[in-house]
Structure 1
Amino acid sequence: MVNTGASVEWARKQVDLGRVPVGVLGIASSNGIEDVVAFGSDGGRQATADHHFALFSVSKPISALAVMRQVEMGKLSLGSALSTAVPGFGTGRTDTVTLEHLLSHRSGITDPELDDGVPLRDALTSAGQTFYAGSLVQYCNIAFEGAAAMAEWADGRPFEEQVLSLAADTGASGLTFSTDCNPHTVHGTEAAGLNAGAMFEQRHPGAGLFGTATDLLNLGSELLRDSGKAVQPATLAAMRRPRTTRLSHITTRPKPLRQTGLGFQLPANESELIARGIYGHPGWSGTEWWMFPEQDRCVVFLTNVLDTPDLGVDTTELLNAVAAS
């Protein structure tokens, strides 16, 4: 049995100190969900374990898992060129942007604003070039629209259908790109200059999913089991392999620095962590989803405030509490 006490108290503290109005904390193992607790209220709405939250970039590894299903079926390769699936992309570029580049933030595509209202496929084809593909690392949301386009080209089904199929196969059937799920309002958008409604309308494969703690815990349990229901074990191992360790990062927020696999991020500050081999992803809205294969743990923290590290939310504390549970 997992001892969730320290992790639960960490989540409670974030709400009690007023850093976030609500928080849902969940812990799972390969045996399934161990504990889910909810704290706080927002606008008179008491948080519960079954509420949906905007996942923001926690969407990325989920979308990457859907894309990698096409790779393991032989319909795509990591070396496949984006321009093959999207002929209008890269006019004037002398390099080749591959699926591996897209999923590991090495594409060199200039990232448009999440809320600019331009249809994602149009924004992808008209995007500029920041650097030669593969030479540097820069976080890029629109790259996941490129990966989604490649999965659609390979499989013939809309990408959203592919993501929902992954969700259904792994007990994460509450995952959705639709605001009809009544998610918690995201705070801090005005200060950040983000029109969240416009962003959500894009149903962005890199930032647009909504989900519950149960959805992410069930999916995390499948990954810990290495059951093959999400992707095959060899595929998951490839996604966890760091692709950015020897490259310079272009970033305005260097700490905490994270390396990137395929869709998944990997903490680079392992000297500050109890556990090794952690993989997962944070989201701009304060969401967190991490797997600990050596400790057989998955942790989910869902909340609804942008830029929570600036408010004092230190997820290194959470990761260490989970590792020691």
Structure 2
Amino acid sequence: MVTMGPAADWARRQVDTGRVPVAVLGVSSSRGIEDIVAFGSDDGRPASTEDHFALFSVTKPITALTVMRNVELGRLALGTPLSAAVQGFGASRTDTVTLEHLLSHRSGITDPKIDDVTPLRDSLMAAGQTFYAGSLVQYCNLAFEGAAAMAEWAAGRPFEAQVQALADDTGAGGLTFDSDCNPHTVHVDSEPSLNVHAMYKNRHPGAGLFGRAADLLNLGTELLRDSGKAVQPATLAAMRRPRTTGVPFISILESPRRHTGLGFQMPAYESELLANGIYGHPGWAGTEWWMLPEQDRCVVFLTNVLDTPDLGVDTTELFNAVAAS
């Protein structure tokens, strides 16, 4: 149980210090959910363990898991070019963008704003080229629209239906691209500003999911079990394999804080951590979903404020609290 433990104390402290108005923390293991706790209130709405939150980029590994199910079935390969699924993509490019490039931020696709009103598939077709595919690393949301298009082409059914199948198979049935699930309001205090509702309309495969703590914990439990309900063990191992180590980053940061596999990220600063082998993903609105396989733990932190690291929310503290508990 984490109700009175150091991880819960950490989550409570983020609310008590005013860094975030609400927080939901959950921990599971290969045996299932251990505990979920909620703190704070926002504009009179108390946080509940059953609340939906906008997951932002926590969507990416869920999209990647969905796409990789098609690889397991032999419908796609990591070397399959995006142009095979999206006719006309990259007509002016001299390189080839593959599924592996899309899922590891090495596509070179120029990324529009996440709240751009242009339909995502149109944006993908019109996207410019920032670098030769595979030569550099630059975070790219639009690449996951390309990956979703490849999944639709391979399976012959809508991408969202495939995500729902993953969710149903892993006890994560509350995951949804529909904003009518009454998620907590996202607070936008940073520049440039974000039109949250325009982003919601995009139903973005890289940032558009909503979910509850229990959804992510149940999915995390199946990953810790290596049960094959999400993807097969060999597939998960491949997704956790870093694809960006030693590849130059285009970033405003001095050095990469994380390495990228296929959809999943891994901390690049393991010397600061008590645990090895952590993988998962953060989201722009402060959401976090991480697996600590050596400790048999999945941890979920949900909140609703953009750029929480700039506000002092340090997930290194959370990882260490979970690892030691």
Q: What range describes the TM-score normalised by the shorter chain of this pair? A: over 0.9
Q: Does 1:288 align with 2:288?
A: yes
CA distance in 1, matches of 2:2, 2:312: 27
Q: Secondary structure at the match of 1:48?
A: coil
Q: Does 1:115 align with 2:91?
A: no
1:87 CA displacement: 1.0
Equivalent residues of 1:256, 1:269 under 8 A apart: no
CA distance in 2, matches of 1:46, 1:82: 44
CA distance in 1, matches of 2:220, 2:210: 16
Q: Secondary structure at the match of 1:148?
A: helix
CA distance in 1, matches of 2:234, 2:14: 37
CA distance in 2, matches of 1:254, 1:274: 23
Partner of 1:28: 28
Opposite residue 160 of structure 2, the aligned amino acid is E
Closer, same or farther in 2 for the Cα pair 1:167/1:18, shift >3 Å? Answer: same
1:193 CA displacement: 1.3
Partner of 1:147: 147
Q: Secondary structure at the match of 2:294?
A: coil
Partner of 1:59: 59
Q: Which residues in structure 2 correspond to 1:167-246 (within 5 Å)? A: 167-188=167-188, 191-246=191-246
Equivalent residues of 2:3, 2:37 under 8 A apart: no
Opposite residue 151 of structure 2, the aligned amino acid is A
CA distance in 2, matches of 1:155, 1:57: 24
CA distance in 1, matches of 2:203, 2:248: 31
Partner of 1:12: 12
CA distance in 2, matches of 1:253, 1:167: 34
Equivalent residues of 2:190, 2:306 under 8 A apart: no
Residue-by-residue CA offset, 1:21-54 (whole Å, 9 max, x unaligned): 0000000000000010000000100000000000
Query: What's the TM-score, normalizing by structure 2?
Result: 0.98
Q: Secondary structure at the match of 1:208?
A: coil
Q: Which residues in structure 2 correspond to 1:28-107 (within 5 Å)? A: 28-107=28-107
Total equivalences in the alignment: 325
Q: Secondary structure at the match of 2:206?
A: coil
1:252 CA displacement: 1.5
Opposite residue 117 of structure 2, the aligned amino acid is G
Equivalent residues of 1:189, 1:196 under 8 A apart: no
1:192 CA displacement: 3.4
1:10 CA displacement: 0.1
Closer, same or farther in 2 for the Cα pair 1:101/1:278, shift >3 Å? Answer: same
Query: What's the TM-score, normalizing by structure 1?
Result: 0.98
Opposite residue 180 of structure 1, the aligned amino acid is D
CA distance in 2, matches of 1:126, 1:258: 29
RMSD, matched Cα: 1.2
Residue-by-residue CA offset, 1:112-164 (whole Å, 9 max, x unaligned): 11111000000001000000000000000000000000000000110010001
Equivalent residues of 2:2, 2:8 under 8 A apart: no
1:3 CA displacement: 8.6
Equivalent residues of 1:67, 1:147 under 8 A apart: yes
1:253 CA displacement: 3.3
Residue-by-residue CA offset, 1:222-264 (whole Å, 9 max, x unaligned): 0000000000000000000000002011112346610000000
Equivalent residues of 1:189, 1:195 under 8 A apart: no
CA distance in 1, matches of 2:189, 2:161: 29
CA distance in 1, matches of 2:288, 2:9: 16
Note the residue ranges of structure 1 that are not aligned, 5 or more in a row. none
Residue-by-residue CA offset, 1:54-92 (whole Å, 9 max, x unaligned): 000000000000000000000000000000100121011
Closer, same or farther in 2 for the Cα pair 1:270/1:190, shift >3 Å? Answer: closer
Aligned sequence identity (%): 75
Please identify runs of 4+ aligned residues in structure 1 that moved more than 6 A: 1-4
CA distance in 2, matches of 1:21, 1:3: 19
Q: Secondary structure at the match of 1:249?
A: coil
Q: Does 1:297 align with 2:314?
A: no
Closer, same or farther in 2 for the Cα pair 1:255/1:49, shift >3 Å? Answer: farther
Opposite residue 227 of structure 1, the aligned amino acid is S
CA distance in 2, matches of 1:217, 1:81: 33
